[in-house]
């Protein structure tokens, strides 16, 4: 692996500033770069809505989803509706 002079100087300065090895500086830099790359993969809510608008569900998929949600809602019971304890 070959690094340019500017990068080598920055590596040396960070190593001294953080009091860690140059290898540790590289590890930290790579970890941070990976976190940033992962963040860039996440869509903002606006991007997600735009994606759905352009690539959304088919009518069949939407109908199936609606059926699943309806079934879940029917299966869920409000704990306050069926409270057998007396309320005074």
Distance from C-alpha of 28 to C-alpha of 20, rounded to nearest angstrom: 10
Please count the structural domains in the chain.
Answer: 1
Does the residue 85 lie in any domain? no
Does the residue 45 lie in any domain? yes
Distance from C-alpha of 52 to C-alpha of 62, rounded to nearest angstrom: 12
Q: What is the pLDDT of residues 29-67, one digit of tens each?
A: 889 888 888 776 777 888 877 877 787 777 888 888 889
**What pLDDT score was predicted for residue 23?**
92
Does the residue 8 lie in any domain? no
Q: For 60-85, what is the mean pLDDT?
A: 79
**What pLDDT score was predicted for residue 18?**
92
What's the Cα-to-Cα distance from 50 to each of 20, 44, 75, rounded to whole Å?
45, 10, 32
What does DSSP assign to residue 1?
A: -
Range of the domain at 52: 15-74
Does the residue 88 lie in any domain? no
Does the residue 86 lie in any domain? no
Does the residue 1 lie in any domain? no
Does the residue 5 lie in any domain? no
Whether 12 contacts 24, CB under 8 Å: no
């Amino acid at each position: 692996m070959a690094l340019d002079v500017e990068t080598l100087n920055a590596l040396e300065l960070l190593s001294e500033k953080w009091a860690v090895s140059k290898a540790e500086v590289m590890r930290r830099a790579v970890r941070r770069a990976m976190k940033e790359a992962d963040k860039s993969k996440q869509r903002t809510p606006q991007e997600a809505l735009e994606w759905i608008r352009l690539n959304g569900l088919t009518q069949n998929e939407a109908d199936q989803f609606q059926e699943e949600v309806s079934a879940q809602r029917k299966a869920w019971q409000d704990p306050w509706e069926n409270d057998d304890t007396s309320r005074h």
